[in-house]
């Protein structure tokens, strides 16, 4: 397998965590989202992913998967151990809801493409962009803090999709200096995940393209 990735992309970070948790060997193909005007905009990468975003996962069969949650679903179905969703339908719904608070509500408003649009097309200054970023992270975290189950992880005693999505979002929030004082449960879950090798090896600072 080949994972097209960028060290700071939270979506690619999710995919790296899931691959590591499953114990799957993969090669990384770094796609820098800033250098050269954005390497994801090149014709070569457009041929891999017409949406021109990371991650993309190239399978040994030649098929290419895009969108981090779809990639993780595929990995969970084809490599079921350890499972990233609870065994019961209600539990799966709760975990998916937590993951989607991050992947569907927070992240799309705060990814690099959205922030660049605010800066370049709408001519917002950096303090305004930072305020935008903080607002949407906190709106999502306010809800997520109340939905986390007794730990040590986001939904009990096992790592789930919720943790896979949460840890990269916490990393980004810390990097952009979002205050996390009012989210003790989120901070505790992040700290617990940080003890696991799968999360450690997926961390942006540990990637070959890290700057």
Give this prediction's pTM: 0.95
The answer to whether the CB of 5 falls within 8 A of the CB of 207 is yes
The tally of CA atoms less than 13 A away on the side-chain side of residue 11 is 25
Shortest CA distance to 202 belongs to which of 164, 172, 162? 164
Residue corresponding to tokens 């003890």: 195
Q: Which long-range contacts (CB under 8 A, 24 or more apart) does 151-155 make?
A: 151/185, 151/188, 151/189, 151/192, 152/188, 152/189, 152/192, 153/189, 153/192, 153/193, 154/95, 154/98, 154/189, 155/86, 155/91, 155/94, 155/95, 155/98
Residue 112 has a pLDDT of: 86
pLDDT above 80 (res 28):
yes
Looking at 52, 82, 112, the residue that finishes a domain is 82
CATH number at residue 30: 3.40.30.10
Question: Do 77 and 99 fall within a single domain?
Answer: no
208 assigned to some structural domain: no
CATH number at residue 123: 1.20.1050.10
Residue 211 has a pLDDT of: 73
Average confidence (pLDDT) over 58-81: 97
Instruction: Give the model confidence (pLDDT) of 164-177 as tens digits.
Output: 999 999 999 999 99
Question: Do 164 and 67 fall within a single domain?
Answer: no
Task: Name the residue range of residue 186's domain.
Answer: 89-198
Looking at 50, 82, 114, the residue that finishes a domain is 82
Question: Do 11 and 56 fall within a single domain?
Answer: yes
Residue 14 has a pLDDT of: 98
Instruction: Give the model confidence (pLDDT) of 17-27 as tens digits.
Output: 999 999 999 99
124 assigned to some structural domain: yes
> Count of domains in the chain?
2
Q: What is the dihedral of CA 130, 11, 2, 21, to 10 degrees?
A: 130
Instruction: Give the model confidence (pLDDT) of 54-69 as tens digits.
Output: 999 999 999 999 999 9
203 assigned to some structural domain: no
206 assigned to some structural domain: no
């Amino acid at each position: 397998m080949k994972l097209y990735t960028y060290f700071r992309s939270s979506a690619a970070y999710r995919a790296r965590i899931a691959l590591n948790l499953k114990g799957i060997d993969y090669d990384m193909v770094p796609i820098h989202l800033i250098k050269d005007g954005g390497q994801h905009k090149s014709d070569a990468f457009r041929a891999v992913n017409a949406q021109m975003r990371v991650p993309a996962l190239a399978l040994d069969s030649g098929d290419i998967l895009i969108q981090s949650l779809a990639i993780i679903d595929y990995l969970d179905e084809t490599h079921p151990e350890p499972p990233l969703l609870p065994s019961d339908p209600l539990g799966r719904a709760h975990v998916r809801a937590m993951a989607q608070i991050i992947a569907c509500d927070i992240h799309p408003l705060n990814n690099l493409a959205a922030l660049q649009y605010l800066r370049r097309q709408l001519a917002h200054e950096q303090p305004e962009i930072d305020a935008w970023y903080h607002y949407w992270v906190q709106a999502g975290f306010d809800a997520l803090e109340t939905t986390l189950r007794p730990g040590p992880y986001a939904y009990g005693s096992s790592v789930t999709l919720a943790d896979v999505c949460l840890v990269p979002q916490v990393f980004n929030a810390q990097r952009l200096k979002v205050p996390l004082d009012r989210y003790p449960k989120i901070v505790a879950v992040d700290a617990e995940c940080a003890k696991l090798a799968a999360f450690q090896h997926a961390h942006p600072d540990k990637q070959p393209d890290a700057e």
